[in-house]
Structure 1
Amino acid sequence: MSKVIVVTGANKSIGLAIVRQLLLKAPPNPRLKIYLCSRDSSRGQAALESLKGQEKGHEVVLGELDVGDESGESARRLKERLEKEDGKIDVLVSNAGVATSGPDFNREILDWTFAVNYHGTKKVIQTLLPLVEKAPEPRLVTVTSMAGFSGLIKDEKVRERFTKEDLTEEELETAIQEFKDAVSKGTWEKEGWPSSAYGMSKLSLNAYCFLLARKYPKISINTCCPGWVKTDMAPKGTKTPDQGAQTPVKLALDDLGGVTGKWWQDERVKPW
């Protein structure tokens, strides 16, 4: 039976590099079946074609997935397909994300960023996690960012709302909503919140994955930063996408010695 790996946001940049590096580094057995997921099917097909000849006995198929679909229908359709064709997901690599290119910060930009980086990603994880649970050695790998480091929040009491050991999903959602409300009122700085939509979306995603790791101890759940990779979102980045893919690929394939609920960078655990 094939080892099924789902990679979101995989039609370009780091996501495509993750698929490419999985093919390069995975042993021939077990055979991989990788779902290269893309919101745009034509771009996904082009990415699939770029990998021709690199499969090394593994299989790469196109998976249509719009992480920003607020209804969750896109994720449900992918789940139904996976249930029918494979019955499980061995590794879910949640990579898709967005970022604005300018310095502007307001509620509109905040909502747009969170829609994909947190709420949409969370919905995809929640939808697909039951299939991950069915795998013999299940893993969830989430690509976040050093921008989502907990130190982004300078106010200790506000930071504690995201980092405390017994954080619940309800408490996390409440904190996120209060951040959004503070931005709408223009009081976020006075209340101890940072002026970063991208950073807070990734920080929130880290917090969510860490509470999932406590809730699902049988699943290896880790988050990672690929580094400052040269992409559309970071044209001045210093790493190539293939270099950025190294840590998420390690988390997907290597023996981690049971480590879960941690934040990784440069292929090792780092303080969050």
Structure 2
Amino acid sequence: MNLRRSFREAADKKLQSAKVSNTMASHILILLSMVLMVGRTCHAFATPSNKIALITGGNKGIGKEIARRIGTEPGFTAIIASRDVALGQKAADDLKESGEYECDVVALPVPLDLTDDKSIIAAAKHVEKEYGRLDVLINTAAICFNDPTLYGKVDHTPFQNQADITIRTNYFGTLKVTQECLPLLKQADSPRIINVASAAGRLTILRSQELVDKFTSNTLTEPQLSTLMEQFVNDVQNGTHEEKGWPNTCYGMSKLGIIALTKILARENEGMLINSVDPGYCKTDQNNNQGTVDPADGAYTPYLLALMEQDDEDDGEDMSGLHFYDQQEIPWSYQ
């Protein structure tokens, strides 16, 4: 990507072009669907010509707002994935009833639980059966234990216990979703993965230069990264994490792992646009709604990355493996 231009300018230019060219075709497809699919479910509108976007954790917060934005785009079908199917369906119904949708948002009818490999595999198989491919994967789902220093609410779960479930969910769960979806993404013409990270995952939380060097190495592989994440959990459980340079935040560590994973995936999957995003300190139930950013605003950059086409002068590699905040690429080491 040409970094001399703002991400917003480049993306808006592409979006305007895409909207003009897609609107007429989209309207024709919708009219044909209305004629041919009378009595069928809304899922009939998810035509093979549509781009398919899967949003994990799409039933609430930032994920739901991403689904809202993508669902309004002509030629896109947004699939809300949730570990609770009923909540996912309610979110899809809420969005469609808002009057902004013509059935371009659907709920995944099977659960997607980041802590359950079988559910992840089943979810990917459902997408394959129904759509045959996946154009966009947006990994939003995550958990976070309340930190009294940030949110004013004490969580009595011991830190040693928080480490395992947080890393297993946010890092290893996201990794598994991505691994299962990669074959589907490779069937798309312009596949992309957007990993929603956090400022909590900045490099400066690491207290050891040796660890910084390991996480930022251009030769770091996914198995090596996963070993590092497991080592963090083990050191926390053994009570030695501080002396070894690890941070006192399981959530931050999980998001640091996601940013590192994003860069590895970008190196290993040429031709895909794979980037991470800090959505800002959004008002969500993870922070007891004490955030300062509306989730709709936090969803904007992931939405742009989902739709943005690559500039002709770019070779594809420069636009992948980057980290964004507020429509701009930012360094991973930002304060």
Question: Any idea what the Cα deviations from partners look like across 1:9-55, whole Å, max 9, x if unmatched?
Answer: 0011111100111134x2x2xx2121111111111121111112545
SS of 2:53's equivalent?
Answer: strand
Aligned-CA RMSD value = 1.5
1:248 matched residue in structure 2: 302
Among residues 212, 218, 223, which one is paired with 1:165 in the alignment? Answer: 218
Which runs of 5 or more structure 2 residues have no equivalent in the other structure?
1-48, 149-156
Opposite residue 251 of structure 1, the aligned amino acid is: L
SS of 1:97's equivalent?
Answer: coil
Among residues 156, 163, 168, which one is paired with 1:115 in the alignment? Answer: 168
The structure that is helix-richer by fraction is 2
Distance 1:190 1:69, change over 3 A: closer
Opposite residue 133 of structure 1, the aligned amino acid is: K
2:119 matched residue in structure 1: 74
Distance 1:207 1:194, change over 3 A: same
Task: Verify: 1:32 aligned to 2:92, yes or no.
Answer: no
SS of 1:92's equivalent?
Answer: strand
How far apart in 2 are the matches of 1:125 and 1:107? 27
How far apart in 2 are the matches of 1:69 and 1:90? 24
Residue 57 of structure 1 deviates from its aligned partner by 4.1
The residue correspondences of 1:1-272 to structure 2 (distance < 5 A) are: 1-24=49-72, 26=73, 28=74, 31-53=75-97, 54-57=99-102, 59-63=104-108, 64-70=110-116, 72-103=117-148, 106-234=159-287, 235-257=289-311, 258=316, 259-272=319-332
Question: Any idea what the Cα deviations from partners look like across 1:160-190, whole Å, max 9, x if unmatched?
Answer: 1111111012221221222222112211111
Does structure 2 retain, via aligned residues, the 8 Å contact 1:8–1:65?
A: no
How far apart in 2 are the matches of 1:224 and 1:105? 29
**What is the number of equivalent residue pairs in this alignment?**
267
Does structure 1 retain, via aligned residues, the 8 Å contact 2:96–2:105?
A: no
SS of 1:43's equivalent?
Answer: helix
How far apart in 1 are the matches of 2:327 and 2:111? 28
Task: Decide which moves more: 4-13 or 174-183.
Answer: 174-183
Opposite residue 131 of structure 1, the aligned amino acid is: L
Question: Any idea what the Cα deviations from partners look like across 1:115-150, whole Å, max 9, x if unmatched?
Answer: 211111111110111101110000001101111111
Does structure 1 retain, via aligned residues, the 8 Å contact 2:301–2:325?
A: yes
Residue 264 of structure 1 deviates from its aligned partner by 0.5
TM-score normalised by the chain length of structure 1: 0.93
Larger Rg: 2
How far apart in 1 are the matches of 2:266 and 2:158? 31
SS of 2:285's equivalent?
Answer: coil
Question: Any idea what the Cα deviations from partners look like across 1:202-254, whole Å, max 9, x if unmatched?
Answer: 10111112101000011110000110000001221011110110111011012
Question: Any idea what the Cα deviations from partners look like across 1:76-117, whole Å, max 9, x if unmatched?
Answer: 112222212211100011110110013566221011111211
Residue 69 of structure 1 deviates from its aligned partner by 3.0
TM-score normalised by the chain length of structure 2: 0.76
Percent identity, aligned pairs only, is 36
SS of 2:193's equivalent?
Answer: strand
Opposite residue 291 of structure 2, the aligned amino acid is: G
